[in-house]
């Protein structure tokens, strides 16, 4: 994909006077829009079997808008919810996910903090101790690392250390992964760090509907949740009625595979049914997997796509059921493959489905290199061709 | 600066008839009311300046604090003994710092919060936490032994200054709800080098939060002396950089500590913004039982500080003032002994943590994976039992 427009991007947004309509932010946002448009041809997720039966589909809604609506509805529903971070107030976030919240709910409910990620995460611990449900934003994946000590040492452990006396109902929102041509430290696939930390849950939506429902469920959960938002899907669109979604969520009408259950015990979803092999993907890789499945179908191969949705807790049941049925599996993720979430999934599938497998479980991931510069990023990211090559390697002859 | 000075700072300064700069900068000298021999210093010798003069607290407050001081010393020494006897894994003693420990808890009201470090067990107990519950963490039964919400005391943690941000969050949540909670957050001199120290002070100042950052400067971070942590004029001088007031106080003078902290609590509760208080004190014993302090400091230095002992000083002061009778002294000592006995009995009682607790409260509901692992452990244990 073309990334050349990003190479002269400005300084880190939020660190200086970068306005809402200047410099890198616009470039990043535009790139996200563009990449989504590109993905749209091949990768717009198909309606899923368990999608809510919205009466009359409303107009197209972006994932960014769905996340924004989820935050607004959560702020309305629970006076304990507070949203804070860098540039989330007046500006509405560099990706505009908190757009309008400060104006609508006031500066006590949605506010900017000093530019300090550990401070944001650490303050959220204290606010949770004192009865609130903080939703904090890390501006970009690779800017979240100063907060890691607070996240790993306190947010993840506090409930356990206090035998449940101090639950940490905190949502840490992190825009993550690539595909937007982000310059240095603006793209990272950091999910494995969080997934490896017991006490944290890690949730990542791939569709507009899931963005709304999973974020609502994450905010309502008493467990700390790292909510990883695929940057390149922020401006992906789907016909979704946000009012209907809100009613569905708040009435608890969702079935057992609904968002609350998914966040509590794991909830993968079959995004496309197939019979010959299972592609297991999450977040930004789901549209890519769907595109690969569509391409494979033209060649006569029927690929199932499972959207993991909740990396932690992992839904072994749904994934295993699919793989046992198809007999072949490929795990797809953008992260570097070594010691990755993809590695964990491959191991789990191998352990649970060994006797149903016709071929080793393969992984299609990013290379084991520092996140590449925009002009080389497309070589790094798992694309349709690389996935199809892996499909070809699944020992079809026997 | 007068144009930009924050209203809360300006108002506090005005109430003392001094400039905001003079309010924020610590007094030129340590605030000390009672000298190391137990005599009351003259006002000029107390380090007092306009806006930095501290009246002696009420007699009953002094006696109550002394009662806790006697208990605090006994708790420290009992816990160190229990470590030597192998009943506890580790105990970072605050022997020599008990006046700071007692004052940090005594200055707080019922709805206020205390955020301690791992060395602040005496402050935790002084706040009302059961001594045996407080020691659970050091005995190795669990990584925490009390309910922080019950006594409004944060859990003791070893990563330095991370708890200062938790204090800031508690204060911010209280302020959003319109509550007048005050939070005292503790850390040591070495901890002031940590990034979270900076972030916590800055957040507290920017959000105008009622937090007192109380630094026990005991001169060493394990082995590294203060000179290797900072070349600032004092730790209290760091306050002005954040737009808050700082003060230095003799950390072995319980009277001065109570005077400074009580006024501090009143100020921050009234909306004057956060404060930084630096107490000069000394860790008489090694960092922990695993440390050898002779490798980095001279015995002469320890002896010098032993002469400034906070317990002896307070006893002399109260006795000379006629407040402390022999009878009261014996009663306080007996109470301290009772706590020590309870600690010994509690720590000598065999504890058998339930292995299945390993999976409790990792998540609000165990994940399928944890349920599997829990079943695996149960199976292992039942096989062990059978064999």
State which residue of chain A sits closest to B158, comparing Cα positions.
A153
Contacts B157 to A, Cβ<8 Å:
153-154
Residue from the list A113, A198, A317 with its beta carbon closest to the beta carbon of B362: A198
Render the burial of A78-91: b for 16+ CB within 10 Å, e for the rest. eebbbbbbbbbbeb
User: B363 and A201 in contact by Cβ < 8 A?
Assistant: yes
Instruction: Show the tokens assigned to B26.
Output: 């610590």
| Reported confidence tier of residue A226, pLDDT bands at 50, 70, 90 | very high
Contacts B162 to A, Cβ<8 Å:
122, 149-150, 153-154
Residue from the list A127, A223, A313 with its beta carbon closest to the beta carbon of B173: A127
Q: State the greatest distance between any 2 C-alpha atoms of chain A, in Å, as a whole number.
A: 64
Residues 83-122 of B with CB under 8 A from A: none
Condensed to tens digits (0 to 9), the pLDDT of residues A29-39 reads 444 444 433 33
Mean pLDDT is lowest, of A131-140, B42-51, B76-85, B168-177, for B42-51
State which residue of chain B sits closest to A113, comparing Cα positions.
B203
* CA–centroid distance for A102 within its chain: 24
Strand A269-272 vs strand A225-230: parallel, antiparallel, or unpaired?
unpaired
Residue from the list B162, B172, B206 with its beta carbon closest to the beta carbon of A127: B172
pLDDT at residue A56 greater than cutoff 80: no
Q: Does A321 touch chain B (CB under 8 A)?
A: no
The predicted complex's ipTM stands at: 0.95
Condensed to tens digits (0 to 9), the pLDDT of residues B181-218 reads 999 999 999 999 999 999 999 999 999 999 999 999 99
The residue-averaged pLDDT of A113-119 equals 98
Rounded-to-integer distance, Cα A147 and Cα A142, Å: 11
| Reported confidence tier of residue B290, pLDDT bands at 50, 70, 90 | confident
Q: Which of A154, A186, A355, A379 is catalytic?
A: A186
Of A341, A314, A219, A170, nearest in space to B370 by CA:
A314
pLDDT at residue A398 greater than cutoff 80: no
**Quick one: fold of A60-264?**
Rossmann fold (3.40.50)
Q: Phi and psi (nearest 5°) for B73?
A: -60, -40
User: A163 and B361 in contact by Cβ < 8 A?
Assistant: yes
Residues 37-96 of A with CB under 8 A from B: 82
State which residue of chain B sits closest to A121, comparing Cα positions.
B165
Contacts B178 to A, Cβ<8 Å:
none
B296 is catalytic: yes
Query: CA end-to-end span of chain A, whole Å?
Result: 37
Q: Cα distance from A159 to chain B (closest Cα, Å)?
A: 6
Q: Which is it for the CA torsion B129, B132, B138, B141, positive or negative?
A: negative
Rounded-to-integer distance, Cα A145 and Cα A135, Å: 17
Q: Does B169 touch chain A (CB under 8 A)?
A: yes
Packing angle, helices A285-298 and A23-43, rounded to 10: 30
Share of chain B above pLDDT 90, in %: 92
User: Which residues on neighbouring strands pair with residue A279, listed in sequence order?
Assistant: A305, A330
Residue B90, judged by CB atoms within 10 A of its CB (0-12, 13-18, 19+), counts as: middle
The residue-averaged pLDDT of A322-347 equals 98
**DSSP H/E element including B278:** strand B275-280
Query: CA end-to-end span of chain B, whole Å?
Result: 78
Render the burial of B160-181: b for 16+ CB within 10 Å, e for the rest. bbbbbbbbbbbbbbbbbeeeeb
**Residue from B113, B187, B364 to probe the interface with A (highest A Cβ count within 10 Å):** B364
Condensed to tens digits (0 to 9), the pLDDT of residues B236-256 reads 999 999 999 999 999 999 999
Contacts A128 to B, Cβ<8 Å:
169
Q: Phi and psi (nearest 5°) for A111?
A: -145, 155
User: A122 and B199 in contact by Cβ < 8 A?
Assistant: yes
Q: Do residues B226 and B255 make contact, with C-beta atoms less than 8 angstroms apart?
A: no
B53 Cβ neighbours under 8 A, 6+ residues apart: B43, B46
Q: Which of B29, B237, B269, B296 is catalytic?
A: B296
What integer best gives the mean pLDDT of chain B? 95
Which pLDDT does position A252 carry in this prediction? 82
Residues 15-74 of B with CB under 8 A from A: none
Share of chain A above pLDDT 70, in %: 84
The residue-averaged pLDDT of A297-326 equals 98
Q: Cα distance from B102 to chain A (closest Cα, Å)?
A: 23
User: A123 and B172 in contact by Cβ < 8 A?
Assistant: yes
Rounded-to-integer distance, Cα A146 and Cα A153, Å: 12
Domain boundaries, chain A: 60-264, 269-392
Residues 191-230 of A with CB under 8 A from B: 198-199, 201, 221-223
User: Which residues on neighbouring strands pair with residue A85, listed in sequence order?
Assistant: A112, A137
Q: Which DSSP symbol is given to B33?
A: S
Q: How many residues does chain B have?
A: 387
Please give, one letter per residue, the 3-state secondary structure of A239-271: ECCHHHHHHHHHCCCCCCCCHHHHHHHCCCEEE
Summary count for chain B: helices (H), strands (E): 15, 7
User: Which residues on neighbouring strands pair with residue A169, listed in sequence order?
Assistant: none
Q: Which of B172, B263, B287, B313 is catalytic?
A: B287
| Reported confidence tier of residue A309, pLDDT bands at 50, 70, 90 | very high
Condensed to tens digits (0 to 9), the pLDDT of residues A246-305 reads 999 998 875 545 899 999 999 999 999 999 999 999 999 999 999 999 999 999 999 999
Q: Which DSSP symbol is given to A348?
A: H
Rounded-to-integer distance, Cα A53 and Cα A38, Å: 27
CATH architecture, domain A269-392: 3-Layer(aba) Sandwich (3.40)
| pTM, to two decimals | 0.91
Q: Cα distance from A137 to chain B (closest Cα, Å)?
A: 16
**Cα distances (Å, whole numbers) of residue A96 to A77, A175, A214, A272:** 21, 12, 19, 30
Contacts A82 to B, Cβ<8 Å:
176
Q: Does B354 touch chain A (CB under 8 A)?
A: no
CA torsion A172-A173-A174-A179 (nearest 10°) is 160
The residue-averaged pLDDT of A119-148 equals 97
Instruction: Show the tokens assigned to A350.
Output: 């191998």
């Amino acid at each position: 994909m073309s990334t050349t427009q990003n190479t002269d991007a400005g300084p880190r947004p939020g660190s200086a006077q970068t306005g809402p309509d200047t410099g890198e932010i616009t470039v990043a946002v535009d790139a996200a829009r563009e990449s989504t448009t590109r993905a749209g041809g091949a990768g717009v997720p198909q309606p899923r079997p368990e999608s809510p039966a919205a009466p009359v589909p409303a107009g197209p809604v972006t994932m960014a808008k769905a996340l924004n609506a989820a935050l607004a509805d959560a702020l309305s529903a629970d006076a304990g919810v507070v949203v804070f971070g860098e540039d989330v107030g007046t500006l509405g976030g560099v990706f505009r996910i908190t757009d309008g919240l400060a104006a609508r709910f006031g500066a006590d409910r949605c506010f900017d903090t000093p530019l300090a990620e550990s401070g944001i995460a650490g303050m959220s611990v204290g606010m949770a101790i004192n009865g609130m449900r903080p939703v904090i934003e890390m501006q970009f994946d690779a800017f979240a690392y100063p907060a890691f000590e607070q996240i790993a040492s306190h947010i993840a452990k506090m409930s356990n250390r206090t035998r449940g006396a101090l639950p940490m109902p905190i949502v840490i929102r992190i825009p993550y992964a690539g595909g937007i041509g982000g310059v240095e430290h603006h793209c990272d696939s950091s999910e494995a760090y969080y997934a490896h930390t017991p006490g944290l849950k890690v949730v990542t939506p791939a569709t507009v509907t899931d963005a709304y429902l999973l974020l609502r469920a994450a905010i309502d959960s008493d467990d700390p949740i790292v909510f990883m938002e695929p940057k390149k899907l922020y401006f992906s669109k789907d016909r979704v009625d946000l009012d209907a979604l809100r009613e569905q969520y708040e009435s608890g009408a969702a079935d057992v595979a609904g968002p609350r259950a998914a966040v509590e015990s794991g909830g993968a979803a079959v995004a496309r049914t197939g019979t010959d092999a299972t592609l297991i993907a999450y977040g930004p890789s789901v549209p890519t997997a769907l595109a690969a499945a569509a391409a494979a179908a033209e060649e006569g191969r029927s690929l199932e796509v499972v959207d993991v949705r909740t990396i932690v807790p992992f839904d072994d049941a749904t994934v295993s059921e699919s793989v046992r049925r198809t007999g072949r599996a490929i795990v797809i993720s953008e992260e570097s493959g070594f010691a990755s979430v993809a590695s964990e999934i491959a191991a789990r599938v191998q352990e649970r489905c060994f006797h149903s497998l016709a071929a080793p479980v393969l992984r299609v991931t990013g290379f084991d290199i520092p996140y590449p510069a925009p002009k080389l990023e497309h070589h790094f990211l798992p694309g349709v061709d690389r996935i199809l090559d892996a499909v070809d390697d699944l020992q079809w002859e026997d | 600066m007068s144009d930009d000075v924050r209203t809360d700072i300006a108002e506090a300064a005005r109430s003392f008839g001094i400039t905001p700069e003079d309010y924020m900068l610590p007094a030129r000298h340590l605030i000390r009311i009672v000298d190391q021999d137990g005599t009351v210093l003259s006002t000029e010798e107390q380090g007092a300046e306009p806006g930095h003069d501290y009246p002696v607290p009420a007699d009953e407050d002094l006696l109550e604090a002394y009662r806790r001081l006697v208990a605090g010393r006994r708790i420290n020494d009992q816990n160190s003994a229990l470590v030597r006897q192998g009943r506890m894994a580790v105990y970072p003693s605050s022997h020599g710092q008990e006046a700071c420990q007692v004052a940090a808890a005594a200055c707080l009201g019922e709805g206020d919060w205390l955020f301690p470090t791992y060395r602040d067990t005496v402050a935790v107990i002084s706040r009302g936490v059961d001594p045996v519950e407080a020691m659970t963490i050091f005995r190795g039964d669990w990584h925490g032994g009390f309910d922080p919400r019950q006594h409004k005391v944060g859990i003791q943690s070893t990563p330095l200054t991370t708890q200062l941000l938790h204090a800031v969050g508690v204060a911010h949540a209280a302020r959003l709800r319109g509550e007048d909670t005050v939070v005292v957050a503790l850390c040591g001199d070495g901890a002031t080098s940590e990034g979270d120290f900076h972030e916590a002070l800055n957040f507290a100042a920017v959000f105008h939060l009622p937090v007192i950052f109380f630094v026990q400067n005991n001169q060493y971070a394990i082995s590294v002396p203060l000179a290797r942590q900072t070349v600032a004029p004092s730790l209290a001088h760091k306050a002005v950089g954040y737009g808050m007031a700082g003060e230095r106080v003799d950390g072995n003078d319980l009277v001065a500590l109570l005077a400074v902290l009580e006024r501090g609590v009143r100020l921050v509760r009234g909306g004057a913004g956060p404060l930084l208080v630096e107490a000069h004190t000394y860790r008489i014993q090694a960092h922990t039982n695993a440390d050898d302090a002779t490798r980095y400091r001279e015995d002469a230095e320890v002896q010098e500080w032993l002469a400034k002992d906070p317990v002896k000083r307070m006893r002399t002061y109260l006795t000379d003032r006629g407040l402390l009778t022999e009878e009261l002294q014996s009663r306080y000592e007996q109470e301290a002994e009772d706590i020590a006995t309870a600690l010994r009995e509690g720590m000598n009682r065999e504890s058998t943590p339930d292995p299945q607790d390993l999976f409790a409260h990792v998540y609000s509901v165990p994940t399928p994976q944890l349920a599997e692992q829990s079943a695996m452990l149960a199976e292992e244990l039942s096989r062990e039992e059978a064999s």
